[in-house]
Amino acid sequence: MKIVMIASEVTPFAKTGGLADVVGSLPKELKRLGHDVRIFIPFYREVEKGGFSIRKGRKSVEVPADKTMQKGLLRQTALDDIPVYLIEHKGYFGRDTLYGGPTGDYPDNAQRFSFFCRGVLDVLKKLDFRPDVLHCHDWQTALIPILLRYEMEKDPFFGKTATLFTIHNLAYQGIFPAEALPAMGLSAEYLTMDRLEYYGNLNLMKGGILTADVVTTVSPTYCEEICGPEQGFGLDGVLRTREDRLFGVLNGLDYSIWDPAHDRNLAKNYTPTAISGRTANKLALQKQLGLEQKVETPLVAMVTRLVSQKGIDLVVELLPQLAEQNLQLVILGNGDRRYVDAIESFRQTHPGKIALSTGFNGSLAHRIYAGSDIFMMPSQFEPCGLGQLIALRYGSVPLVHSTGGLKDTVTDQRDSARDHLGFTFTDYSSAGLWEAMERALQIFGENRQEWKKLMRRGMNADYSWAKSAVKYEELYRLALKRRER
């Protein structure tokens, strides 16, 4: 099949979260399965400054946006021999960040990503590349199935093209004022309940869900959860109308990137059969972060955004109890100022107990996975999560809230005594988190042989992209069968 992957970010070119990792990994596995895969992303300033080998394409872009015809250029590079096309427009994408600044999202995001979506369709025609499937990711690309359904339904070029739309996080829907329609090149006909209208505004996520031939989420449990009001973020009713086209496919992990046997960021490489190398990584991490170097002290870690979705409020609430335990806490991430300040205040009053590193440091993240004993992900909700998969691969035992993809990937000792991979809690509360933490600390301190078995079991678990890519392959074929135009 000819598959075009369209996203607002792709590792290693531009990244703010897990979306980029998915789009940077899945195409490689699809190519191994024999498919012709192409990737489209915007040409951000971040990409331009990233030191990548990027050449100017011979094609240009000219599409309606911002109440006029906007022109752009095409650039091209590659990801493991997979062609990557970048849509350039200095006014829209030549900015310091991808989606917004310190004061919030860019006010013209509707125009920016409408230009991108229209540009992708324009370029495909000019390249004469007729895709079987357009795989669109999140609200930034949701306009593509919308345009194909309503604006280009009689266009012979895309007459046999199907669309698959993946929801990475339903909390971010691309909601804009109705007045944005002309700037997106859309008529007032789109402001209806069966198209984009959402409480008087426009909702691009809604439009993508209603018009794509197949809709997926990034884990089976999250697929079920978002069809209910608690995690449906106002779109659960819309999703239920598409249940026969809605599927959950678990994200995979790119083991060519996340491999403790060959990771150059580590103090010492190791494998499941030679796990003792983790000791050197723990000691090196403790030294780097200014913590006392003690192998027997349990090292608990988080690599996360410091926002309420990630359960950081539960951790802050538990800081006094954690202070009384013989453990060390390492947190890498940035986010809400109130959480950063609370953790920093605790760090100052409890020297040597906690290490906080704000911002993002990729090399340090690798070393934290390799040097920590317990990896916490107490997320309130989690569409899939990659942190727990990386932790398993690196022998750091995950402790997670049983929700979304965390529930699909981490089994608890109480539920599966022989093959459990970590520790979970179902009651989203500090008490629930603390109960799971106590169980983990008890086994770490009292039964080191059992702990080593747990580490090896996690390292040997297979969460590669191979299985998920085959599932997507099946869904692409289903989308072609159910193509609605």
Closest C-alpha among 446, 102, 394 to residue 257: 394
First to last CA, the chain: 19
Radius of gyration (C-alpha) of the chain in whole angstroms: 23
Could you give phi then psi for residue 364, rounded to 5 degrees? Answer: -65, -35
In CATH terms, is domain 277-461 a member of 2.60.40.420? no
Distance CA 277, CA 453 (A): 15
In angstroms, the Cα distances linking 14 to 17, 51, 164 are 9, 12, 22
pLDDT of residue 484: 66
pLDDT of residue 485: 59
> What is the residue whose two structure tokens read 């990027």?
54
- In sequence order, the 6+-apart residues with CB closer than 8 A to the CB of 173 are 139, 203, 204, 205, 206, 233, 235
Q: Quickly count: other Cβ atoms within 10 Å of residue 118's Cβ.
A: 24
> Domain residues of the chain, as ranges?
2-252+466-481, 277-461
Contact (Cβ atoms closer than 8 angstroms) between residue 137 and residue 42: no
Burial (Cβ within 10 Å: 0-12, 13-18, ≥19) of residue 337: exposed
CATH superfamily of this structure's domain 2-252+466-481: Glycogen Phosphorylase B; (3.40.50.2000)
Contact (Cβ atoms closer than 8 angstroms) between residue 286 and residue 299: yes
User: What's the CA angle centered on 109, arms 253 and 333, to 5 degrees?
Assistant: 45
Helical axes 448-460 vs 430-446, angle rounded to 10°: 110
Parallel/antiparallel/unpaired status of strands 68-79 and 82-88: antiparallel
pLDDT of residue 11: 93
- Domain 2-252+466-481 identical in fold to domain 277-461: yes
Closest C-alpha among 392, 398, 369, 384 to residue 456: 392
Q: Spell out, as residue ranges, where the chain has pLDDT lower than 70.
A: 416-417, 484-485
Distance CA 287, CA 417 (A): 35
Largest CA distance in the chain: 69
- In sequence order, the 6+-apart residues with CB closer than 8 A to the CB of 449 are none
Could you give phi then psi for residue 28, rounded to 5 degrees? Answer: -60, -40
User: What's the CA angle centered on 102, arms 96 and 107, to 5 degrees?
Assistant: 75
pLDDT of residue 416: 67
pLDDT of residue 391: 98
Contact (Cβ atoms closer than 8 angstroms) between residue 177 and residue 158: no
Range 244-262 burial, b when 16+ CB lie within 10 A, else e? ebbbbbbbbbbbeebebee
Parallel/antiparallel/unpaired status of strands 100-101 and 82-88: unpaired
Distance CA 321, CA 386 (A): 28
